[in-house]
Homo-oligomer: A and B are copies of this chain.
Amino acid sequence: MEKFELYILGCGSALPTTRHFPTSQVVNVRDKLFMIDCGEGAQLQFRKARLKFSRLNHIFLSHLHGDHCFGLFGLISTLNLLGRTADLHIHSPRGLEDAFRSTLEFFNHQMTYKVFFHEFDTREPLLIYDDRSLTVTTIPLQHRMPCCGFMFAEKPSPNHIIRDMVDFYQVPVYELNRIKNGADFITPEGEVIPNTRLTRPADPPRRYAYCSDTIYLPELVEQLRGVDLLFHEATFTDDALSRAKETFHTTASQAATLARNADVKRLLIGHFSARYEDENVLYTEASDIFPNTVLAKEMLCLQV
């Protein structure tokens, strides 16, 4: 199975605690690294996770609150100190470049590489990244400012060739790509060998959905249905429901309800309010509704 992993670099919320870093995650898809949000200290945690800066080319920001993007200053400067030459792409809601450009220029007179800002509207799902094996689509959320999540979806892989059968039917090499993609093989004698005899189906494509700061949105069920792993913020417990609504956040039981209704395979909760010294109250509340729940913590690595 191809690599598709999630690293948690930080899962706290805006107020600093002794337990957490602010939000940042890294998705590793076949050794390409994608950063999601970049709270203060993200570069330190990135190093601690023994990840390689050279494999990081794309950063996705859910929204422009400081606890989701203040780590960019240090990260961009470090890549410059390291003499990076590859382009760096930062995908975010509108406004980031205006907010950052002058400070970045002050601290990096001579850049060894280019930073490209890609800004998008958060109101509709948009395809914002597409390569041979992966797409990233935004998930519209509702927070105190424009905000979205991200769906990381593997593309379907071609079928696996069954070597013994291909040898048996003496399939020429130039036919292999067509067969991987589902074609039958016709022998020189005109016999049709069905594709199912020549290949095993590839693993089904996997999806990771990241839902950043948002008020509870039951309608997300549609876009999240059946994902392999769902990260959803769970800032509060249900007894702070009114506080959650006021601040446009979600409770642990709401996140779990969404996971259950969307029939996701696994739920990861994070973005914990500083008020919870013991986050097991959040875990208990969520797992009562959706048993396959995991509590985020720094340096956690999950296979999607």
Name A residues whose Cβ lies closer than 8 Å to a Cβ of B: 14-18, 21-22, 40-41, 43-44, 46-48, 64-67, 70-71, 73-74, 77-78, 81-82, 95, 98-100, 102-103, 106-107
Task: Report chain B residues within 8 Å CB of A21.
Answer: 44
Known: A100-B103, A102-B99. A16 touches B40 (CB 8 A): no
Taking a contact as CB atoms under 8 Å apart, the answer to whether A14 and B66 are in contact is no
Contacts of A17 in B (CB 8 A): 47
Instruction: Name the CB-closest residue of B to A40.
Output: B74
Shortest distance in angstroms between A98's beta carbon and chain B's nearest beta carbon?
A: 7
With A14-B81, A74-B66, A95-B106 known as contacts, the answer to whether A43 contacts B43 (CB < 8 A) is no
Report A92 CB to chain B, min CB distance, Å.
13
* Closest residue on chain B to residue A13 by CB atoms: B81
> Contacts A40-B40, A40-B74: A18 and B48 contacting too (C-beta < 8 A)?
yes
- Known A82-B15, A106-B95; contact A66-B77, beta-carbon cutoff 8 A: yes
A17 CA to B95 CA, complexed, in Å: 31
Question: Cβ of A22: which chain B residues have Cβ within 8 Å of it?
Answer: 74
- Residues on the B chain within 8 Å of A78, using CB: 14-16
Copies of this chain, tallied across the complex:
2
| Closest residue on chain B to residue A82 by CB atoms | B15
Instruction: Return A14 CB to nearest CB of chain B, in Å.
Output: 6
How many angstroms between the C-alpha atoms of A18 and B106 in the bound complex?
27
Assembled-state Cα–Cα distance A15/B98 (Å): 26
Some 6 contacts from A to B, beta carbons below 8 A apart, are: A15-B82, A16-B43, A40-B44, A67-B77, A73-B73, A100-B103
* Shortest CB distance A111–B (Å): 13
A70 and B41 alpha carbons, distance in the complex (Å): 10
* Nearest neighbor of A12 in chain B, beta-carbon distance: B44
A174 to chain B, nearest CB (A): 49
Separation in Å of the A112 CB from the closest CB of chain B? 14
Residues of B near A95 (CB, < 8 A) are 106
Closest 10 CB pairs of A and B: A99-B106, A40-B74, A66-B77, A103-B103, A41-B41, A70-B73, A18-B48, A16-B47, A66-B107, A16-B44
Residues on the B chain within 8 Å of A77, using CB:
14, 66-67, 70
Distance, CA A77 to CA B70, complexed state (A): 10
Is the CB–CB distance between B66 and A70 below 8 Å?
A: no
Docked pose: A16 CA to B82 CA in angstroms = 11
Write the nearest CB–CB distance from A113 to chain B, whole angstroms.
16
Alpha-carbon separation in the docked complex, A283 to B17 (Å): 32
- Residue of B whose beta carbon sits closest to that of A45: B16
